[in-house]
Structure 1
């Protein structure tokens, strides 16, 4: 049991004793929330439990706080101090830190893993870009955040599947085929008319040229509708392969690639409509089928099947979300762009209409990404004159910097991506700063071996109580809270918290490195400091692993 849980239990037991003695009475105790204070002079942990209890207990919060402090049974606690209107600040004994460090070293690469999720089945669907062209920087943010969230949830003990929903049916694929067809005819010197809603990217021209390179002009002999059907399949295969390649290059892997087409081919859309009709949540009007979405909080009812019998995009989405719950996920998380915000209410309404709990759907909305270089907003690719693609960004700043910069801000805030900062090899670049800490620790161990010194074979035999400098204490405390950070970040669906934690940990390490010699001090102290930096290195590595960022041994 970690120290935070022990302290939580001790507070609960102290509160129970106080109530048994009649100090205060409350029917249902609020949750005991412990936080790390922003300033270390306020202790290792703090709680507002007394203030949260005061109203229901009809008792002054300082009276409740005093009763808890007087009844705390915690031998590892140095002191508990009441502050302000009823906060309790807790100061732990240093002995606890050394015991914690031993456990961290024993856990090795498993340190930071928690069982908070208790195996709950979660599906995270992200990116799901139309397979009509290359991924752009907006998709990159979704890819980085989504894959980091998957890693984070797994580290916190959830069973997670990552899924890409392939939009391979509907108008966008028809427009893709028509766009390729127009460029194909154009390249062969034949009359062509570019579709009004066609795709103008350079990649469409390249696709058409590759068709000519492989097949020549043989498709000219086909009737237009047959040629379009051929080009639809050829282009779709190529564009999907391009998406997979870009995502693989970006360190993003999916467990499932789910085709929208299969929902129509398997009659899943029709079966879902029958379900909604049978339970009275779908009705016919003007020849179309409508979902009674206003009953479930939407601002208006929605057309699911048009009067010409053609399903709307919502029809496939309803069937798709039904399929997710049929597969047994306890919770499904969708990561969408800011332009999809208005779509949430209709999807939640459809889930409720099918008899599922709409609260089991979570939607994370990603705000926009703006690229800056030399202080100027970058809108267009230098290479194509169009939007900057993800592959171009990776080529410009590298995979690690791109991933970290996409993740380091909360998803609900717009991201200003500074290309110059992302490329810089300076302490101002957060990912460089963190990776350099890891590489610096690796260098320490190489130096130890180069000068013929030994590295302890068993850390539990090292006298860690020699670590008494404030920089050492601060570092141990920061390392020790990784499991708490993982649990909290997972529950909040906030991988940016891990990025912030890793940056703060790196800062404390650099401070320690500048203040505390490691090589050349007394052997016992050297061993203790080597133990400490071993734990720091492992913790940085685990944090970066969650973010999908490399932990280099040399820089």
Structure 2
């Protein structure tokens, strides 16, 4: 029995109590009950404070309500005992059969174990990375690549129709600076004061020269256009390859320039004007964002007739909504924190709901540490640490896991020496090694003819009550938590919960394996207990593989 199943059993018991007249709950029975794992193992398998929460509404002391509820729950199949503690806590123990059946559920579900329908029927546009095509992806963008892709996987696992989108900033001043930098490099001149430096500028400039040998002999405006169009394409091709090698691919690459050339900006402004949310003042067109919670109104079209930066945001958001997306999530770096208020106000100005139709996630800084010292410079990019620097130091799996392992609103320090080690101090190695060890056990089981065929064939004759050892119970309860962890990670937009869970699951497995022998030794005949433990091993490997897949990290069978 999982915590969700126990929650449902408690809800059923409360419902029966209200129908029988034993308890009166004017606000009705809650749809679900919070179930926790006791900090002290001797207190039971699960605990709940539902009696304390409902006592006042029921008009009785918490212990009295807890006593009535305990009596009902003791009649529930799979529950071995219910004890009342303190002012009205319920400590619940499950019988071994009810617990052990979770292992069979995992094996039967296989790669689908942990799926839910929290976002079924919803179309989600997930925009992340969106680095300017003026240089390699820096370490902050790399964090969003890892977290964003993991979140997309978790949303899909939770029933959503997810579109990963990259907003290609190919319009504006930064592209002009990039172009001037390329042209200066090609001419052997000094980098412009506001330009970009680094070996990548030299490399791209030389590629353009190789393709257009006569470009420097052309008029300046024509030469600049060649470096702009082809230089940007070369840089963006490189960015896409780096992301692909990192395991991150996008469904849509949306070009900012298209918004300004297609009339999308004008269409968005017309929509907002028709809703009474724009006005003219001082020769400029303004958006009424202050009335929707922003600290001030925002200029859309400046007095010189050019669009302000927010004009593109308006058009882009409307375009996404017109493409049918229910939720638009945007992941931004810490330097965009002041951006949130105006974007939410823009969403409300269109008649939508901030936090539902538009949601902005802010990520904090990432620092890389090597030999106890922070890394400051990239050999290639010159001024920033890049995706390639991180992957080159610790590999794709460790990089993705390390970046997804922490809540996004915290600054993180990644110790490259630790994450490169093949020891249990390295969290990703610890989890992957557990999966490889589980795979080795199952290979050995097949060699010993203890198991054969598909994983589900192990379920023939499986007796879950045999999994009665304390460490077996702890491992089973840990596996049962995986669906809840996935659902919470989706609802809170926190993939790090999956990573931390995997480490707990790997730890529970190692503790189980240290004291519970899975395979027969010497001439010992395979027993039902051996086979039951193989079901548990298969279930554990399934959960670790499913969790690693959600993070975009491989699940090796040998290490």
TM-score (ref. length: structure 2): 0.93
Quick one: structure 1 residues 386 and 334, their matched pair in 2 at CA, closer, same or farther if it must change by over 3 Å? same
1:350-371: per-residue Cα shift (whole Å, max 9, x none)?
Answer: 1111111223212111111011
In the other structure, the counterpart of 1:268 is 264
Alignment of 1:486 with 2:482, yes or no, is no
In the other structure, the counterpart of 1:212 is 209
Quick one: structure 1 residues 384 and 18, their matched pair in 2 at CA, closer, same or farther if it must change by over 3 Å? closer
Counterpart Cα distance in 2 of 1:456 and 1:85: 52
2:184 and 2:191 in contact (8 A); partners too: yes
- The Cα of 1:88 is off from its aligned counterpart by 2.6
Counterpart Cα distance in 2 of 1:324 and 1:47: 43
Counterpart Cα distance in 2 of 1:252 and 1:47: 41
How do 1:423-502 and structure 2 match up within 5 A?
423-451=420-448, 454-455=451-452, 458-461=457-460, 462-502=462-502
Counterpart Cα distance in 2 of 1:47 and 1:477: 16
Alignment coverage as a number of residue pairs:
548
**Aligned with residue 350 of structure 1, among 335, 346, 353:** 346
In the other structure, the counterpart of 1:189 is none
In the other structure, the counterpart of 2:50 is 49
**Aligned with residue 551 of structure 1, among 545, 551, 555:** 555
Counterpart Cα distance in 2 of 1:527 and 1:34: 34
- The Cα of 1:553 is off from its aligned counterpart by 1.0
How do 1:122-521 and structure 2 match up within 5 A?
122-186=124-188, 192=189, 194-216=191-213, 218-360=214-356, 361-382=358-379, 385-451=382-448, 454-455=451-452, 458-461=457-460, 462-521=462-521
Q: CA RMSD in A?
A: 2.0
Which stretch shows the higher mean deviation, 324-333 or 11-20? Answer: 11-20
- The Cα of 1:63 is off from its aligned counterpart by 3.2
1:34 and 1:45 in contact (8 A); partners too: no
Counterpart Cα distance in 2 of 1:445 and 1:22: 51
Counterpart Cα distance in 1 of 2:296 and 2:397: 44
Counterpart Cα distance in 2 of 1:253 and 1:147: 8
1:221-253: per-residue Cα shift (whole Å, max 9, x none)?
Answer: 322222222211111101110110110011011
Counterpart Cα distance in 2 of 1:282 and 1:239: 38
- The Cα of 1:38 is off from its aligned counterpart by 4.9
1:429-484: per-residue Cα shift (whole Å, max 9, x none)?
Answer: 11001111111122223333445654376222233432222122211221122112
Counterpart Cα distance in 2 of 1:14 and 1:324: 46
Counterpart Cα distance in 1 of 2:145 and 2:121: 24
Which stretch shows the higher mean deviation, 441-450 or 498-507? Answer: 441-450
Quick one: structure 1 residues 3 and 389, their matched pair in 2 at CA, closer, same or farther if it must change by over 3 Å? closer
Quick one: structure 1 residues 456 and 278, their matched pair in 2 at CA, closer, same or farther if it must change by over 3 Å? closer
- The Cα of 1:148 is off from its aligned counterpart by 0.3
1:375-412: per-residue Cα shift (whole Å, max 9, x none)?
Answer: 22122225665322111211110000000000111111
SS of equivalent residue, structure 2 residue 355 = helix
1:367 and 1:412 in contact (8 A); partners too: yes
Counterpart Cα distance in 1 of 2:380 and 2:551: 29
1:455 and 1:527 in contact (8 A); partners too: no
1:70-126: per-residue Cα shift (whole Å, max 9, x none)?
Answer: 333522212233333433333222111232222221112222222222232212111
In the other structure, the counterpart of 2:83 is 81
Quick one: structure 1 residues 33 and 366, their matched pair in 2 at CA, closer, same or farther if it must change by over 3 Å? farther
SS of equivalent residue, structure 1 residue 32 = coil
In the other structure, the counterpart of 2:537 is 533
Counterpart Cα distance in 2 of 1:544 and 1:339: 30
Counterpart Cα distance in 2 of 1:451 and 1:385: 57
TM-score (ref. length: structure 1): 0.94
SS of equivalent residue, structure 1 residue 35 = coil
1:371 and 1:417 in contact (8 A); partners too: yes
Alignment of 1:119 with 2:121, yes or no, is yes
SS of equivalent residue, structure 1 residue 34 = coil
Quick one: structure 1 residues 7 and 443, their matched pair in 2 at CA, closer, same or farther if it must change by over 3 Å? closer
- The Cα of 1:425 is off from its aligned counterpart by 0.7
Which stretch shows the higher mean deviation, 135-144 or 61-70? Answer: 61-70
2:199 and 2:380 in contact (8 A); partners too: no
Quick one: structure 1 residues 171 and 383, their matched pair in 2 at CA, closer, same or farther if it must change by over 3 Å? closer
Counterpart Cα distance in 2 of 1:314 and 1:48: 49
Quick one: structure 1 residues 51 and 141, their matched pair in 2 at CA, closer, same or farther if it must change by over 3 Å? same
Alignment of 1:62 with 2:63, yes or no, is yes
SS of equivalent residue, structure 1 residue 78 = strand
Counterpart Cα distance in 2 of 1:74 and 1:173: 67
Counterpart Cα distance in 2 of 1:75 and 1:414: 47
Counterpart Cα distance in 1 of 2:212 and 2:482: 57
2:44 and 2:93 in contact (8 A); partners too: yes
2:451 and 2:458 in contact (8 A); partners too: no
Which stretch shows the higher mean deviation, 395-404 or 382-391? Answer: 382-391
2:186 and 2:205 in contact (8 A); partners too: yes
The runs of 5 or more residues in structure 2 that have no matched partner are none
SS of equivalent residue, structure 2 residue 234 = helix
Counterpart Cα distance in 2 of 1:135 and 1:384: 9
SS of equivalent residue, structure 1 residue 36 = coil
Counterpart Cα distance in 1 of 2:33 and 2:42: 19
